[in-house]
Every structure is written in C-alpha cells, then in structure tokens.
Structure 1
Amino acid sequence: MTKTVSQINPKADIQIAVLVDEKTLLLFGWIDRALPSSGAASFSEGADSAGTYDGHFWPRDEGSYWFVALLRFDNIAQIRPQRLSITGADRGTRYTIPPIQNIKINPWTLLSTLKEDMPEAMPVVFDFLHKSLGDTAQSERTTRLMLAFLQAMAQPDGFAEIFGCMTGLGALVQGWSFNLIAGEHDLLIETDACRSFTSIIGSFERSDLPSTARGVLGVMTGADTLDLSRIRRIYYKAAKGWCYLEIFENRTLLNDQSAVPHLRAMLPTLTGEPSVLRTLKRLSNAQYEGFETVSRLEIPVRVGLDTAVRVPGAGTLVTGWVLDPDHHVSAITLKGIGVSARIDLDWCRTNRRDVSEAFAKDAPFAGKIVPGQDAHGFLAFVPETADSPEQCERYLELSLADDACAFMPVATSKAAAPALRRLLSTINLNDPASETIISRHIGPLVQAAGSACASAESSATVYAMGKALVAPRVSVIIPIADGRDDIDVTLAKLAVDRDFKGTEIVIASGAGAHERLSPSLRRFAEFYDLSIKLVPCPQAHDIYQAMDAGVRHASSDMLLLLSPSVLPTSTGWLSDLEWAYKTSGRTGMVSPTLLYEDFSIRFAGIQQISAQSAVSQYAGYSRDWLKGRELTTVQAASTDCALIPRAAFLGAGGFSTDFVGTDFKGVDFCLKLRAAGHVCLWLPTVQLIALDEQPREQAQEYWLQTGGLVDRWGFERKWPRLHTTQSLGSIDR
C-alpha cells in the first residue's frame, strides 16, 4: 500500500543562499513554520537532484521563524535555482519552499549581512554550522568560513601559556581565563585548519591574576598529533558566548617526558567536579614508559598477548588473554600515536582453558578461578586514521579500579601472508561467535591488508626468450603459482596451433617457480620458435596474483588469460574466440566451454551469482546439451580461459587482493568488469579440457577453511545486492 504524502507550501523568504563548498549550499531567511530538523531535499522530481537537508529554526515574531539550513548535493553548483522540496524523516509531509532567486559564490556574504543587520543571530548560525559540519572532513572553504565566524564574534578571555604532548593521551594546555570554568568542553583549535577536541579542564588559584580570573589546566583528548607550535588561538563557548585564549608569545612547549609529570604535579592545586578531577588523575597515571607493568601488580590481574598484526593507516588486530577474576580492570585501551580506543567494549571473548589451568595454583589467583568459566581470551580490531605513521609504538593501558593504570607493550607485525595465515588458523570454526569474529575483527583486517598489498608497487626483472616480437597480436598470460616443474604440454599444444603465430606467451611465475621453469622454457622457445616472457612474481601466492602481475608486462592490447590446467583438444580455437569477440560489437571478456576429462561440462557460463553459490549452468551435463547454442551474454565468464582487452582488464582494476583464497576472485573480477560497463560472454562452440587439479602443497589446510568464511563475508560486503541470487543486469551499469 502506497503511503500518502501531504503537500504544504509555507510562506518563506530565502534572504541569503551561498555555496559553502562544491557539495554544500547554505540558506538563511524566515519561514512561517518550523520544518523538520533533517530529511531529504530535492529541486525537482528527478533522482539526479536528490540530496540531504539539515535545518535550525528560532522565533522571529509571533507568526514566523528565522532559519538556517544546509543542503548537500553532488555538484550542487551546477543545479539551477528553482523550487525546493523538503521531506522529513517520516516522509509523511513534503514542504515546497519558494524558488531560490540568487546563489552567491562568496560565503562571506552571509557573515557580513549578519554582522551588520543581525549580530545576535551570529552565535546561533555558528552553533548550527559547528554541529553540522564539525564532524565531517572540512574543505578549505568550510574551514575559512568557520574561522571567519569565530574571529568576528568571539571575545578575548585570557592566554594559553604552556603546551605539552602526551602521546596516546592528548595534549596538555595551561593558562588563565575569566570565563573558562572547570569541566568538559569542546575546544576549537585554530592552526592552518580548525579542529575540535573534547577537553577536560581543571582550574586553580593564581595570585598574579585579577580576582575574577583563574588559572586553567586541561587535556585535549586525541590532540597528541597536533603541531602545538602552530596553534594561533583556542576558542570555546562560555556562559556569555564564544570566547578565545590568545597564545602567549613566549609559550612553553613541554616534551613527551615532561607533560605528564607536570600534570601530576599540578593535580593537588586543581579544583572542579569530582568526576573531572578523577579523569585528570587517571590521565596523570597513564604515562607509558615503554615497558610492561602488569606483572608488577599485587592484585590478581595478568595479561598475555598472542598476536598483534597491523596495517598502517587501517588498523591493528590484537589477540591474547586477560585474567581478572575479581574484576579490578575497568577498561582496556589500545594506545599509541593517533590511536586511543577501548577494546573491551567491542572485543570477542574466546575460551582459554590453558590460562585457567596455568594460574589455578598461583597464590594471587588460588580459589578465585571458577572451573568451567574459561572465557579469558580476546580478539579485537582497532581502526586508525589513514595518516597514521608507518612506524609507531602501540601498547595496552589497563585502567584499574583505584584510578591507577598498568601497561603492556604491543609488538605489531606486518599483515603479510604468513601472519594472516597464522591468525586464520586460530579461529575455531565451531565457535558460535565465529561469524561475529570475522565480521567485526578478522574481515576488516584482511581487507585492509589486501588493499595495502594492491597499492604497493612491485617491480620485476622480465626475461625474454626465443623470438622477439615488436607488436604481438595477442599476449597469452599463463600463471604458475604451485610446485609444478614444467608446462611442456601446454606449450606444445600452443606451438602446433597456427592461431598462436605472432603471439607472445607471458609466463607469470609465483612461489619461486621461475628458477625451476627457466631451463625448459628456454629450450621450448628455441625449439618451437616461440616468443616467451618469464615474469618472476615471488609475492604472488595464487594464480590470480600471478596472472595480474603478468598482465602488467604484456605487450599486446589483447590478452588471453590461460590457466596451465586448461588444455586445448584441437587447433584454431583462438581465432574462433577472436571472431566471436569482434562480431559481438561489445567490449568485455569472452570464454569458451570448459570440459572435465570425461567430456562432461565443467564451465558453460554463470547466470546466477550469490555469496553462497556461483555455479556454472549445465555443470556435469553431457556436452551434447550445448549443440546449436550460440554466443551468449552471462553474468560471469571463466578467468581460466578468457579473451579480454588489456585496457578493460586494467580499467576494472585487475583481480582483487582483498580475498584470502581464490574461490571468489574470478566472479568478483567479472562483477567489477560489468560494473565498469563491459560484458561477459560465453562461446559454447569452443571447447577445451580443464584438468581437475588441486592446489599443490595446500590440500585442505585449516587456514583456507577459515579464510573461506572471511572471503564470503568480504564478498557479501562488497556486493550487497547479491545477498540473494540476482538476475542478470543487477550489477551492470
């Protein structure tokens, strides 16, 4: 049943409309009624003009309200002024506002108008802008506008004289003020930008100040990455309005070793609410000095770390155990430069009977560990900002009941393949929490590691063998990522096929295979007069990574992706693929039919895809079922044998690196290819044998089983429209 939407046309006058940045339009004026504070906005019925709306209203007179609003649209500068429709979150009422007559490019039009005609509205408008824009990444224009408001309306209120960096905690600031009282405040720090930090402030008496002023000392949480020498002003909202502290010309900058002792020394002089003083006391005890202190505790609390894997700019995964039978620990926080996050709020607990047994007879724990209650283990992923330094120290801070702290260094390792495999091997597939562990913790780390791997550039020495071709017609990419000693059969099949005259063969060898393959490849190149490139790619751990590396060194504009497990049964099949591709009139990828060794169908195009299944149609049927069938568009082709332009392959981003195994990589590439505007084609009349080879030296390793769960989660997250099987075209643009 369709919900009825009522239409209201309020009286309104949009006095000012200015572009804040390329995606944000600010409106100011009056209206005869208050509208919803947020919702959807559009300038027409078309989807291309849909955006979001946030507004604030306050009384103008008995029959109207002043209002300020922000509209967010993509390319809003290109939208022509016209009637504006606003719909609240309940979508029950649509409000149509009169047309916007004139959009100003210069945002200072608003500031100058308010300053001259309505100075009392400036704090109201700024508070709305600060609330709406403060938590988002600010453009240069937004920053300049915010600072212009502050500079125009804030009143001088004192000086900041001492600053200090407290790594992993924040930044210390000390000075004096008339109106900055003890408590929790949002401090807006003016540097080249304008950043807001939640701050805990205490006050103290100073004999050198007027009777109405007091000394202030506070900690700005999360500000330890701030360049304290570049601070120009500190703004805050006091009872009388917005104020600021000037920066003392000869300010003192305390180093990391001095800031916390200074705070600790000042604590006895500070006044404020008990919760404020308690927080400052806890911060003064939270000085990490680079070594472990948990084992020195006299109370029954112990911690052990098993694994800590970090992807710089993405996050850190920490696993270990915490034994705390008397509940002395109130919080556990992972800290370091740019990171301060509690892990005990969202961690996954695991059973560690070994920990219970190891400490059961220790004096501090004797009689306190309840048999069967072994959930001491933990696993937690902590994200970090993209600008986090490549090398930085991490540690755990245990907050104890008496406001004391204990510390545990966290030695992180890189999220390389061996570390990830060890981590995946620790997941218990029978644990009811395994899906939660993957979605909250393991999955984000694996995807981040894959993205980091994709962004890392790698260079390889390419070895040319046999005939030199200036402009090969096709580059045949053959990936090797297992322990095989040769690909003699594949090369022999290609060498006797006239279709492969004028093609180059690119052997992309991972897993250190290039040294084993090199002698036989050189012999074959000379004997069959082939053009071969050997591309070592030791970082490749599967055929997709090897194939991706090989494509980067291909000379032709057309590629033939060919698994060494695929063997031709006849000659002339490449020209059939080329003809089918050219006559289709579309760009993308075309694959043949792949058969099992008994000539039953292994691959005949995939028409239905989901995270649970991506099985070829007709799989297991006799190939006689394919008689009379012609070139067909499918949801996914087979990357085991496919003809594709190099530009289309690279334009789609190649094979994704954020999967542990190989089960989803081929289908994922096809979806990316189609999302880029290309097609996947299947040619039934060309048939090759695909040997049923298991990856050597892996068999059914446990980490691959757990990695499969991670990959399924990642695939569902990447392609959310495929949670259930979709029809063809659900991904195509």
Structure 2
Amino acid sequence: MPSSELSLSSSPAPLGRIARSGRIIACVIDETLLLLIGTGGPMTDQLPVEIDEDPSSQVTASVAGWRLPAPQSSATHGFAALLPVESSERLPTTLRFGRDGNGKRYIVAPRAASIAEVTAMLKDFAGPQLVHVLGRLVDVLIKPPHGEQRLPAITTLLKAGAASDGYIELLGEGHDGNIALKGWAHDLPAGICRAIIRSDETFLADCNVAVFPRNDAPEGSAGFVGLLSATDLPRARDIKGIFYRGRGAWRYAGLHERRVVTGPLDTPGHIRAMLLQSQGSPQVMLRLREAANGYDGTETISSLPVPVRLGVDALYQGDDGAFLISGWLLDADGHVESVRLCRQGGRARLDGGWTRTERSDVEEAFVDRPEFKSAISGHRRSHGFVGLVETLGGEPEGPVHLELTLRDSRRAYMPLFPVRLPARTAALRLLASVDPTSWALPDILDRQIVPFLTTAGSSAPTIETVVDMGPFDQAEGTAILLVAGEAEADFAALLGLLALDPQTRRAPIALVLQAERFRRHAVHIRQLSEFYRLPLRLVSVEGAGDACDMAQAAAESVNGSAVILLSASLTPANTGWYQALVTAYEAKEGSIISPTLAYEDHSIRWAGSTSLDRPDHLQSSRYAGYPVGAVNRLKLTRVAAASLDCCIMPREALMEDAGSSPIYLGASLKGLDLALRLSGKGYEAYWLPSLQMVGSDEVPEAGSAATARFVERVDRTLFRARWMPASETAKTFFEEAGV
C-alpha cells in the first residue's frame, strides 16, 4: 500500500501517515450518514463541513475528538465525525472542516471501510479515550428517528468500548409485553435510560430503573430493579445482556450464570418483593408499582374494598381467535374506568363496544349485603353485558384474564377459561342464553353476533368415515346424497319411502351425517338398511357447520357426473320424482334443477329464487303461499338460483371452489348463498313446477321460535352484506331471463 494511504485492515497503518497525508477514512452507516476518522487540530462537538469544494453543500457534523498520545506539528488530535449526506452511494472526494472557507481540507479515501474495521482503528488510535469517543458517537447515532435502523453499527461500537458494569440475575416477562430486570451494577443510575438489548437480534428499549442497597454485591455497586419497554422486545429467555447509558459512559450488564427467568404470572411477585426498599423518580416508581400490581393468576375483583363485582357466564373463542363473552358487572357507584380482555403481550378494551343487558338476578344476589345495598337502585338493572373482542394479539395459547381498572388507578383481575368452538356454534349458544324478550337483543345481534360471524374463519369439512351398509357400488343410476341436518333425528320414515319406491330402492343412496350424530345413530341406521335392503352408504363428515358443508364434503364419496341432493327433512309428494329429476337434467345437462318445495298444507314454500333487488324478499317467489295446484302445470323455468334442499346438479359443482361465504346460523340462506355462487360460476338454475317436495321450515339449533326470528335476522344481515351490492346486476339478469 502507498505510504500516503491508510490500511483498512484490523491492524491500521501508523498514525503519522494519516497526519502527513491529510486523509480521512469513511464508513457507511446508512444511506444518509457517514462515519469519518481522521487527524488534525482540536475540534468542537458541532462543526460545519463543506463537501467537494461546494459551499452550498455545507452540513453540520457531530464530532468526537481526542488528544493524540504523540502529537505532531500537523496533527495534535484525532477525531471521529458523523456526517449527514444526501446519499452514501458515492463517497465525497474532499471535505473541508471549518467556517468561511478557512477550514482544513481533507481527501477522502476512495474505498469505504466497514464498521468493524473502523472500530478496530478507533481502539488503536483513541487509546484510553476510546470509551469517551464511542459514547459520543453512540449518543448521536441512537437519537430518533433513525436509532433503530442504526442498531447494528451501534452494537459493534459498544462491543468494542462498553465496559462490563454488573450482572442481571432475574429476567421476568409481563402480560403487557414488558420485561422486568433485577441485578446489581456500579454505574446504572435511577431514572429512565435508553437500553440496547443483546439477543439473536438487537432491540432498542426504554429502561425504568430504581435502585436499592445490597450487602451481597461488590463494593461500590447497588442493586437495581428495572422495566424494559418497547413496541418490540425479544423473549426474556433469549436476552444475553443489555448496554445502557451510565452516569459517565455506556456500560454493559451481562447475565449471571445463575440467572432466573420467570413467566408473566410470577414476575409481579418478584417486583413487589423489591419495591419497598427501592428508590427512583416518581414516574419510575409508578411504572414499577403498575408492574407489581400485574396479573398473577389469582382472582382479585371479589376482594375490592369498593362495591364493584364482576362475573362471566360464558367466554367463547372462535377458530380465528375472536372472543364472544357474556357476563355481568355490578358498579352502581361508577368506580370502574375500563374493562379489558388480556393475555401475555395482548390486550383489548371490552367495555368500549359491549351491549348492556338487564340482570335483575344480579341485584337480588347483592341487595342484602350492606356495602351494596345503598348503591343498588331499583330503576337501574343494566348490569349484564355481551361483548366482542375481534383481535387480542399476544401469545395465541396464553392464559386469558379480565383486567378491571378503577378510577383511582387500582387494578383487579379475573382469570378466564375460554371454550373453543366454531363461530356458528358459539353464536347459537350465546343467542340461546339471552332472554328473547330483551330490548337489548337487536343491539347484541348487530354489534356483537354479526361482526363475530363476519370476521370468523371456517375450516373446510372433511370426510371422517365411509361405511357401506348395503350393495352401494352395485347400485345403478344417479346417486342420492341424503343430507341429515340438525333437526332430523329419525330416518326410518324417509328410508322406508325410498325403499318402497321402485326407482329409488335400486339407486345408490349416501346418507350424510355430522361425525357426532354418526356415532350416535350408526347402529340404528344399519338395522334400517338391512331391513329395507337398501344400497345405502353412510358418510360421516367432520367440521361441517351445516347441510351445505356436509353435501360439499360428501360429494367425493359418490361417483357419476350428476348427483341428487335431498334434505332428510323433505318428503316426496309425487311418485316417480327420481326419474322426473333425471329426465329434466338430461334435457338441461350441466344445470341445477329443483322441484317446488311445499308445506304440509300443500301451500308453496319455495318456487324459484327470482329477485334480489328487494331487501325484504331476498329469496322471493311470486307464488309463495299459493297452493301447489296453481303452478304444477307450468313448464321448466329458468330462475336466479336453485334450492339446494332438493335438486339434481353436476357433481363437480359441489366439488368446485365457488368462493367463500359468511358463516350463517341457519341453512336456508347458506344454501341460497351457495346456489348464487354456483350461478356466478356459470351453472344455470331451473325450477321444475310439476314436481313437489313437502317439508317444514328449518328449526334452528338455538331452540325456541322466538330465537328463530333472530337467527333469521342475523342471516339476512349477513346475506345483504354479501349480495345486495350486486342487486342491480341481478335485476338486469332477471329481466333478460324474462322472470
């Protein structure tokens, strides 16, 4: 290497060569900042620098200087400077340090050094001043807004010059994502300082520190308890040590060989044990008291000295992580400021959007207790609540609890144990628990149930078991998928009708059940199959929410290009219905064809879905309520969507990915939703008026007729949100179809 240039190896050239050459070594920190090393005279902490002899390019550099151990006539001091630039893609050629064009001019070495090379140079050049120089550089680099982007460079500098100052003996995780520290150090001051956390990655955090005396620590040191907080922190078990700004320089505290790592339930107790003997600023002590008052797994609401009590009746967790909760809060005097659902690293406000309900039973339970008797008003009974938390965050499998904060900043807790259920099952169970005459029920539907179902995800159902209970593979004709919904418990009558019909008794019949019902009814169904000598196949489906899910999953269990879907709640009203559907399909192959659905009094329940542009008639038929005799002479008619309660259709249509749909509580609109999606895929739909099936409307799992009205309301809301924006398109289609 020429004598006029500085070596960039870890063993740099003698310092005199830099002084004689007037050269500067540059290191790229990021796209807008350079770290420079050179020699010259004394410099101030802030100094203007002119770039490439252009007076308009002048910027201000932050400088850390030191006196050389062997001063020369041309260089008495060394310096390290941080220079802001517009772009670091091309290094400057020359730099002039000083004002009014009278400063010293330097030539910049054409090759940039790495941060590791520059750090090695500083260790050699700065000598005993290294700690001061590195501290000055790190103090500038760590300032917002670019501090986190420069952490790799900061960490490299600190590893070279931050002296070991103590040890960390305890690392404790908190439910709020903070990490508690306990240990001892010589130079860690009480207060709030910036800390750099060493782990597999590097993190920047604030550290709230309080100190306390320790007789077992080295002389001159003190014990400390701290709280690391940041938007992103590593797990406590992954921390290797922390760098922090001491009273005079940056220091390092590593992990003690007998360190203890605690979880969120144990950490508050460790902080409480040290808090009484600790000293710190009021702000720091407040933060530590909050952490010491954290959730430790015990219920503390019932021990509050104020008339506040809380109970949870049900907490359901959907497959996507959303929570649906119902319970009661007695707070007649208004002590409660907030109620939150929490777990490690995640929390969400519950009371901001919940629905209050009347709960006279709560008042009756507390009215005889002296501390509550004067606070309970007979005119205010809205103590119940139903709430929704769509996103909680934090550890997905972590324990869940309620956090209740009073207006005097006290907090109390209640551990919870969510029941994991599919969103549809959870919504139906909660709906069944609410008084159907409650004035709050519409609000519960609109603000809690509908959003819970809208955001919920659903997994695809799968076939669990297939059992042949007759000569299914030897049967001839189009397969019948006989789908048993939630309301059908006795299959004997329908299987008997299929056995008496000479056409269907020879057809392959697949009876589709949910897995739980399959286990209950399999033996009885086998007895019926053997008695009627039917070519019956029993299909058990796991993870199905309704009849549509079961039909789509079970389509793989049968063969043939077409399949007949038949709900187990329907009964054929015509002889020869099976052949009539097959004949109609042969004329309109690849389409979906449904018969008329009628009630037991032979009035029309469904006769073709023909309109979506009227919000009050989402699946309307011009003949709904008419006697079936009014339409049974009509010809095959094109409609917007078929009824999947009974139809003949291409088997591939059931197996095709027709897109997602909302999670409906009932089967009626779920079937219409799927039928419309299949129409959108190009499958034409037809109504066969001359053929009728008899059956009643769906009875929801939720139970009572009063609840059924609200199930329908929820489904209509979900259906409108999915399909009503397309009403104009649907209207045009119907007009073109002559409907």
- TM norm structure 2: 0.65
Hey, what's the Cα distance between the residues in 2 that align with 1:203 and 1:112? 45
Moved more, 625-634 or 636-645: 625-634
Is 2:560–2:651's contact at 8 Å kept on the other side of the alignment? yes
Letter in 1 for 2:669: F
Letter in 2 for 1:691: V
- The answer for the alignment partner of 1:553 in structure 2 is 557
> CA shift at 1:116, angstroms?
5.7
1:377 matched to 2:379? The reply is no
Letter in 2 for 1:693: S
Is 1:544–1:655's contact at 8 Å kept on the other side of the alignment? no
- The answer for the alignment partner of 1:228 in structure 2 is 236
> CA shift at 1:430, angstroms?
5.7
> CA shift at 1:378, angstroms?
2.0
- The answer for the alignment partner of 2:275 in structure 1 is 267
Q: Does the C-alpha gap of structure 1 residues 455 and 488 become closer, same or farther in structure 2, counting only changes over 3 Å? A: closer
Letter in 1 for 2:617: S
Q: Does the C-alpha gap of structure 1 residues 215 and 124 become closer, same or farther in structure 2, counting only changes over 3 Å? A: same
Hey, what's the Cα distance between the residues in 2 that align with 1:126 and 1:464? 76
Letter in 2 for 1:690: M
- The answer for the alignment partner of 2:70 in structure 1 is none
**Aligned residue runs from structure 1 range 504-583, under 5 A:** 504-510=508-514, 511=517, 512-524=520-532, 526=533, 531-536=535-540, 543-564=547-568, 565=570, 567=572, 569=574, 570=576, 572-582=579-589
> CA shift at 1:381, angstroms?
2.4
Moved more, 653-662 or 251-260: 653-662
Q: Does the C-alpha gap of structure 1 residues 173 and 697 become closer, same or farther in structure 2, counting only changes over 3 Å? A: closer
1:437 matched to 2:440? The reply is no
Hey, what's the Cα distance between the residues in 2 that align with 1:662 and 1:631? 24
Is 1:338–1:384's contact at 8 Å kept on the other side of the alignment? no
Aligned residues: 591
Hey, what's the Cα distance between the residues in 2 that align with 1:288 and 1:298? 19
Q: State the structure with more CA Rg.
A: 2
- The answer for the alignment partner of 1:618 in structure 2 is 622
Letter in 2 for 1:228: A
**Aligned residue runs from structure 1 range 130-209, under 5 A:** 149-153=150-154, 156=158, 161-166=168-173, 168-170=175-177, 171-174=179-182, 182=191, 201-204=208-211
Is 1:182–1:273's contact at 8 Å kept on the other side of the alignment? yes
The one of 299, 311, 317 equivalent to 2:318 is 311
1:286 matched to 2:294? The reply is yes
Q: Does the C-alpha gap of structure 1 residues 477 and 244 become closer, same or farther in structure 2, counting only changes over 3 Å? A: farther
Letter in 2 for 1:151: P
Superposition CA RMSD, Å: 5.2
1:477 matched to 2:491? The reply is no
> CA shift at 1:268, angstroms?
4.5
Letter in 2 for 1:284: A
- The answer for the alignment partner of 1:327 in structure 2 is 334
Hey, what's the Cα distance between the residues in 1 that align with 2:143 and 2:478? 62
1:218 matched to 2:227? The reply is yes
- The answer for the alignment partner of 1:651 in structure 2 is 656
Moved more, 567-576 or 319-328: 567-576
Hey, what's the Cα distance between the residues in 2 that align with 1:581 and 1:212? 90
The one of 718, 724, 728 equivalent to 1:722 is 724
> CA shift at 1:626, angstroms?
9.3
1:255 matched to 2:262? The reply is yes
- The answer for the alignment partner of 1:665 in structure 2 is 670
> CA shift at 1:406, angstroms?
2.9
Is 2:480–2:564's contact at 8 Å kept on the other side of the alignment? yes
Q: Does the C-alpha gap of structure 1 residues 678 and 545 become closer, same or farther in structure 2, counting only changes over 3 Å? A: closer
The one of 483, 494, 498 equivalent to 1:487 is 494
Hey, what's the Cα distance between the residues in 1 that align with 2:502 and 2:659? 28
SS at match of 2:528: helix
Q: Does the C-alpha gap of structure 1 residues 202 and 648 become closer, same or farther in structure 2, counting only changes over 3 Å? A: farther
Is 2:431–2:707's contact at 8 Å kept on the other side of the alignment? yes
The one of 701, 711, 715 equivalent to 2:715 is 711
Deviations 1:479-513, CA, capped at 9 Å, x for gaps? 1231333314652576427xx97x52211145445
- The answer for the alignment partner of 1:690 in structure 2 is 693
Structure 1 stretches of 5 or more lacking a match?
Answer: 1-26, 30-59, 67-109, 131-145
SS at match of 2:642: coil
Hey, what's the Cα distance between the residues in 1 that align with 2:342 and 2:435? 28
Letter in 1 for 2:714: V
Q: Does the C-alpha gap of structure 1 residues 324 and 465 become closer, same or farther in structure 2, counting only changes over 3 Å? A: same
The one of 393, 418, 422 equivalent to 1:412 is 418
SS at match of 1:487: helix
Moved more, 360-369 or 656-665: 656-665
> CA shift at 1:314, angstroms?
0.7
Q: Does the C-alpha gap of structure 1 residues 520 and 339 become closer, same or farther in structure 2, counting only changes over 3 Å? A: same
Hey, what's the Cα distance between the residues in 2 that align with 1:591 and 1:437? 38
Q: Does the C-alpha gap of structure 1 residues 473 and 692 become closer, same or farther in structure 2, counting only changes over 3 Å? A: closer
Letter in 1 for 2:593: S
Is 1:477–1:506's contact at 8 Å kept on the other side of the alignment? yes
Q: Does the C-alpha gap of structure 1 residues 704 and 261 become closer, same or farther in structure 2, counting only changes over 3 Å? A: same
> CA shift at 1:297, angstroms?
3.1
Is 2:494–2:571's contact at 8 Å kept on the other side of the alignment? no
Letter in 1 for 2:381: D
- The answer for the alignment partner of 1:136 in structure 2 is none
Hey, what's the Cα distance between the residues in 1 that align with 2:245 and 2:713? 50
Deviations 1:682-715, CA, capped at 9 Å, x for gaps? 2345742021324469774444333333333443
Letter in 2 for 1:550: A
Letter in 1 for 2:716: R
- The answer for the alignment partner of 2:598 in structure 1 is 596
SS at match of 2:329: strand
SS at match of 2:465: coil
Hey, what's the Cα distance between the residues in 2 that align with 1:244 and 1:722? 64
Q: Does the C-alpha gap of structure 1 residues 364 and 262 become closer, same or farther in structure 2, counting only changes over 3 Å? A: same
Letter in 1 for 2:557: H
Q: Does the C-alpha gap of structure 1 residues 414 and 493 become closer, same or farther in structure 2, counting only changes over 3 Å? A: same
**Aligned residue runs from structure 1 range 327-406, under 5 A:** 327-384=334-391, 388-389=395-396, 392-406=398-412
Is 1:633–1:680's contact at 8 Å kept on the other side of the alignment? no
Is 1:609–1:725's contact at 8 Å kept on the other side of the alignment? yes
Letter in 1 for 2:434: I
Is 1:332–1:343's contact at 8 Å kept on the other side of the alignment? yes
SS at match of 1:314: coil
> CA shift at 1:196, angstroms?
8.3
